Amino acid sequence: MRRRWLVLGLGALVLAGPSAGQQGSAGAPAAVHLSFGDAVRMATGQAAPVELSGLATDEARARVRQTRSVLLPSVTAGAAWVNRNFNLKSFGIPLNFPGVPTVVPSFNNYDARLTLNQTLFDFSSLGRVRASEAQVRSTLAAGDATTESAAQVAALAYLRAARAQASIQARQADSAIAAQVLALAQAQQQAGVSGTLDVTRAKTQVAVAAGALVLARNQFDQARIALARSLGVDPVKTQITLDDTLSSELGAAPVPTDLEAAVGQALDARPELKAEQARGDAARVSRAAVSNELLPRVGLEADYGLNGITWPNSFGTRQIAVAVSVPLLDGFRREGREAEQDAVIQESQVRQHDLRQQIAADVSGALLDLHSAQAQESIAAEQLSLAADELSQAEQRFKAGVAGSIEVIDAQASMVRARDAVIDARYGAAAARVSLARAAGAARTLH
């Protein structure tokens, strides 16, 4: 009798719901209700990789301003005080007159002026500005790719948490069935229909179901921690509650299921391909900028200031100059840089070709996985229905005394496997939909 109450008490404790550490209290983590779509949107806005990609874009824009500064006016202000003397002979003035010194005594000189430098024509610098702008477009596209990856990671993390939550519900149902079978075995024993062995087997199944439920809850807590990390939130201070269950519609996105249409959408939307195209454009513009270094560069320099031996007796002075420079020979450095950019352009073309093939392969593989997972869903649903019928018939036979508990235990095991098969099939189908959305460049639209 004591062992019976111990087993029943263990089953009741496991079925009681969340542990004490998960229940709300004054110092408990903040509860956050999160749907699948909310998780995707949150990840695309605040996940650490997304924030880092945004900072990388800011860096690229800052480099554009640095490159453009060569073409903008440059104004400097300066002031100087000089005390010096001169020897006239150092200027080639030979004075040998008696009484006339050749050394001019030391004197002060004050000078303060503004200097302006302005590039008038420099096609090479213009090309470098356009190349840096193309790098910004490449960085933006790379940031979009990072956002897509963050959406996929968060979506899969949510699906794993939903699967773990579904496993908890399945293990709770298993525990309830085990408790019912135990009560039936005890009733059969008291009626003299079955022996002690059937009761012992039923108690074992209660303990097994209780252990499986403890493991399922641990996996769910671990999945929620991983989900919080993918969203960029503190897993200790945040208690995530899933609003969506592992259903057959979870993980939908506006992606066609026709292979040709899906590949066409992916080629238009995948940010990795756009990023590589922008890198190729930047290399071509950089190549042109290097070639334009052969063209003349025209610059303007002007200054105005005050100059004199004392500040009160200073006079205004100015200078305006226009300079033209033409590079003739730089040790063939320019030719080497042109060859380097040619290689970069060819590398980009190879990567673009490979990316197009990889995108088509990604979409094809995702569609194959989706069709297979959908078929597995149908098979698993039928398996669950048959397992439920088998368990019902086994319980009736055991209750009627025409079969032993071993038949019921086998039916329970079949029911456990059928429930797990349904959960795995739904998870596989949802994960395939997420993979298809990522392959088509539409992971941010998952809902």
Residue 28: pLDDT above 70? no
Give the chain's mean pLDDT. 86
Most confident of 40-49, 175-184, 185-194: 40-49
Going by the DSSP 8-state scheme, the letter that residue 193 receives in this structure is S
DSSP letter string over 278-321?
HHHHHHHHHHHHHHGGGS-EEEEEEEEEEEESSSTT-EEEEEEE
> If pLDDT is split at 50, 70 and 90, which confidence band does 428 have?
very high
Predicted TM-score (pTM) of the model is 0.80
| Distances from the Cα of 262 to the Cα of 251, 280, 362, 436, 442, angstroms | 16, 25, 10, 9, 11
> If pLDDT is split at 50, 70 and 90, which confidence band does 27 have?
low
Most confident of 17-26, 213-222, 325-334: 213-222
Mean pLDDT is lowest, of 71-85, 190-204, 278-292, 423-437, for 190-204
Strand partners, 68: none
Mean pLDDT of 249-266: 91
Q: What residues contact 359, with CB distance under 8 A and at least 6 apart?
A: 263, 266, 267, 270, 272, 273, 439
Q: Write down the pLDDT at residue 235.
A: 87
Residue 20: pLDDT above 80? no
Residue 217: pLDDT above 90? yes
Q: Write down the pLDDT at residue 191.
A: 76
Closest CA to 345 of 30, 47, 131: 131
| Distances from the Cα of 399 to the Cα of 140, 176, 193, 283, angstroms | 68, 17, 9, 80
> If pLDDT is split at 50, 70 and 90, which confidence band does 30 have?
confident
Asked whether the CA dihedral 376, 382, 385, 386 is positive or negative, the reply is negative
With vertex at residue 283, the alpha carbon angle to CA 281 and CA 286, rounded to the nearest 5 degrees, is 110
Asked whether the CA dihedral 100, 101, 106, 109 is positive or negative, the reply is positive
Reduce the DSSP state of residue 86 to 3 states and report it. Answer: strand
Note the pLDDT tens digit of each residue in 137-149: 999 999 999 999 9
Lookup: tokens for 124? 């090479």
Residue 17: pLDDT above 70? no
Residue 16: pLDDT above 60? no
Residue 25: pLDDT above 90? no
Residue 24: pLDDT above 60? no
Reduce the DSSP state of residue 140 to 3 states and report it. Answer: helix
Mean pLDDT of 23-33: 64
Reduce the DSSP state of residue 332 to 3 states and report it. Answer: coil
> If pLDDT is split at 50, 70 and 90, which confidence band does 427 have?
very high
Lookup: tokens for 201? 């087997």
Q: Write down the pLDDT at residue 224.
A: 92
Note the pLDDT tens digit of each residue in 70-129: 899 999 999 999 998 877 777 777 767 676 677 778 888 999 999 999 999 888 888 889
As a whole-number percent, the residues of the chain with pLDDT over 70 amount to: 93
DSSP letter string over 25-47?
-TTSPEEEEE-HHHHHHHHHHH-
Note the pLDDT tens digit of each residue in 376-407: 999 999 999 999 898 888 888 887 777 777 88
Q: Write down the pLDDT at residue 214.
A: 94
Domains of the chain: 28-70+123-292+333-445 (1.20.1600.10)
Q: Write down the pLDDT at residue 165.
A: 94
With vertex at residue 425, the alpha carbon angle to CA 421 and CA 429, rounded to the nearest 5 degrees, is 175
> If pLDDT is split at 50, 70 and 90, which confidence band does 342 have?
very high
> If pLDDT is split at 50, 70 and 90, which confidence band does 344 have?
very high
Q: Write down the pLDDT at residue 62.
A: 93
Going by the DSSP 8-state scheme, the letter that residue 90 receives in this structure is G
Q: Write down the pLDDT at residue 11.
A: 42
Note the pLDDT tens digit of each residue in 45-59: 888 999 999 999 999
